[in-house]
Chains A and B, each alone.
Chain A
Amino acid sequence: MTTMKQTLESERDALYIAWSEDRQTAAPTPLRDWIARHPAHAEELTRWAVDAPVLECAAQRPTDPAAEARTLEIGQQVVAEMRARYLTAQPAPLKGLLETAKACGLTPKALAERLGVGLSTLAKLQQRHFRFASLPAEIVERAADALQVSAGQVRAYLQQPPTLAAGASYKSDGVPRAAEQEDFAQAVRASRDMTEEQKAYWLAQAENTTGE
């Protein structure tokens, strides 16, 4: 929805709310006055006033359980269709935490500060070296806030298999493989670049992690 259209919709809602609430008062403002105050909305105000008597008695009509059930049935179909479309049209997956941070103008250090972790922990998050189930929900939410993306996108990124560090060179006879994923709480305890306060905070959060 464009900004102008949104503003117009918002104005219409505000006007309809004001007009409807005035109509419930003991001495409602005449339609003529409403139109004089809001000439750009004359047509809508007239239509609301003209339809109002019919709608007011609609609400007083006896309920029709069969009609209501059919309305609900149609609604459930609509929900199922829209939900399926919506959930498959989720935003593109994140390329990486650091890449997304860069796009937001955040350096790795600034992102680590926003998350309240050390740089080495951030690097492990980037490479998905933590078992996802051991991560506190709080760290996902902080990352989503800092990166201006949804928590779902961060979760989807962190749930993928671990990667190798970008740009690292390896001397090995075999194909290099990412290290085994580790437990977040254990990594926090062993961390050398987190303060005691940060450690205490994240260990308390990790304790509440259900592992779901």
Chain B
Amino acid sequence: MQESLAQTRQDRPASPLQPLQTEGRTREPHVEAQIESLLRASSESFWQRARQQDRALPDWVQEEALVGILRIWNRRGDGEAAWKIAALLIERSARFVSQHIRCWPQLGPQHVEECIRDVQIQMLADLFNDGRGCEFWEVRFWLCLKRRLLNIVQKYRAVAEAERVPTPIEDDEGHTTDYFDRVAAPEGLSAQHRTEIREALALLTEQERIAFVLYHHEGWPQQEIAAHLKVTDRTVRNLLGRAEKRLELWRTENMQ
């Protein structure tokens, strides 16, 4: 029986942390160390550390570590404590979610609110999902959130675009002025103006933005963009023309 107790101890995992299921991927060592140390801490000390406001503090608890602990507590059946962490992560991510949704001007106030809600629902569903598809939240929390947010914003933008009456813009066929070189070239603009131009890209329709960014930022020729979008070269020229006019208009109104 002595042997069986020793065996029981050996059978028990040394750490409650489960390895990630995706080959070649692990949590950051400092995240694992934080999880181990927080699991040993008293409840009072845990919450004191987790609720710190200053990210610069050396014992600031990473979001990835909080996700790891949430999942361990949830597996152990301590749903109440797991939901307290979930609420904390909602609080920590509020600014990020707000900024990354409200930067799309075509989303009306109601779409913004629905979009925020959908992002938060998706985030919570993923945090309580122990499956392989959600384990990267313990590796790069903010990038996982950003990817989900992008997917959801994309759906709402499509709805907003379908509902929007487009601003009439003269469509000069064959208009090929290199707007980015002329207006947004790094040497021609201050850093602040470059940022503002990027911000203005959010005003473009989906197709216009794809054509504009691929042409001006990624340097793709128009034929390649046409093949990628499965449209004609002429449509690409029209998209670029409309995008440039929209930005020109925005520039006249905002950058005088």
Number of interface residues of A (CB under 8 A): 72
For the complex, is A169 an interface residue (Cβ under 8 Å from B)?
no
Cα distance A14–B26 when bound, in Å? 12
Given contacts A57-B195, A150-B75, contact A74 B5 (CB under 8 A): no
Query: Residue B177 at the A interface, CB < 8 A?
Result: no
B218 contacts A49, C-beta separation under 8 Å: yes
Indicate the member of B5, B77, B116, B143 with the most A CB atoms within 10 Å.
Answer: B77
Which chain B residues lie closer than 8 Å to A22 at the CB level? none
Q: Mark A69-98, 1 if CB is under 8 A from B, else 0.
A: 111101111110011001100100000000
Task: Give the CA-CA distance A47 to B219 in the complex, in Å.
Answer: 16
A-contact 0/1 string along B91-128, CB 8 Å cutoff: 10111111110111000000001001100110011001
Question: A57 and B199 in contact (CB under 8 A), knowing A10-B135, A30-B218, A74-B113?
Answer: yes
- A6 interface hit (Cβ, 8 Å): yes
The answer for the CA separation of A10 and B95 in the assembled complex, in Å, is: 26
Q: Which of B175-211 contact A (CB under 8 A)?
A: 195-196, 198-199, 201-202, 209-210
A194 and chain B: residue at smallest CB distance: B1
Which residues of chain B in 43-75 are interfacial with respect to chain A, using CB atoms and an 8 Å cutoff?
75
Q: What per-residue 1/0 map shows which CB atoms of A19-63 lie under 8 Å from chain B?
A: 010000000001110000000001000111111011111111101
CA distance A59 to B144 in the complex (A): 16
Q: Within the assembled complex, what's the spacing in Å between the Cα atoms of A66 and B213?
A: 32
> When the two chains form the complex, which single residue of A61, A68, A155 contacts B77, counting CB atoms closer than 8 Å?
A155
A residues within 8 A CB of B12? 142, 145
Please give the distance in Å from A91's CB to the nearest CB on chain B. 9
**Inter-chain contact B25/A14, CB cutoff 8 Å:** yes
Q: How far apart are A2's CB and chain B's nearest CB, in angstroms?
A: 9
Q: Pick the interface stretch among B29-37, B146-154, B159-167, B245-253.
A: B146-154
A79 in contact with B87 (CB, 8 Å): yes
CA A87 to CA B82, docked complex, whole Å: 11
Judge if A198 is at the interface, Cβ distance under 8 Å: yes
B170 within 8 A of A: no
Q: Is B121 in contact with A90, judged by CB distance below 8 angstroms? A: no
Q: Does B5 contact A54, Cβ atoms closer than 8 Å?
A: no
Let me know if B132 and A53 touch, CB within 8 A: no
* Contact between chains at A78 and B76 (CB < 8 Å): no
CB distance from B166 to the nearest CB of A (A): 19
| Nearest neighbor of A112 in chain B, beta-carbon distance | B4
Q: Answer yes or no: A113 CB below 8 A from chain B CBs.
A: yes
Bound state CA distance, A115 and B218, in angstroms?
62
Q: Which residue of B lies closest to A109 (CB)?
A: B4
A113 with B117, Cβ < 8 A, contacts A48-B150, A82-B124, A152-B78 known: no
B8: A residues at CB distance < 8 A? 113-116, 142
A-B contacts, 19 of them at CB < 8 A, read A9-B134, A10-B22, A10-B132, A20-B143, A20-B146, A31-B214, A49-B217, A50-B213, A55-B150, A57-B195, A58-B99, A71-B95, A71-B98, A78-B124, A82-B121, A87-B83, A152-B77, A195-B5, A197-B1
Tell me the A residues contacting B by CB distance below 8 Å: 1, 3, 5-10, 12-14, 16-17, 20, 30-32, 42, 46-51, 53-61, 63-64, 67-72, 74-79, 82-83, 86-87, 90, 113-116, 118, 141-142, 144-145, 150-155, 194-195, 197-198, 201
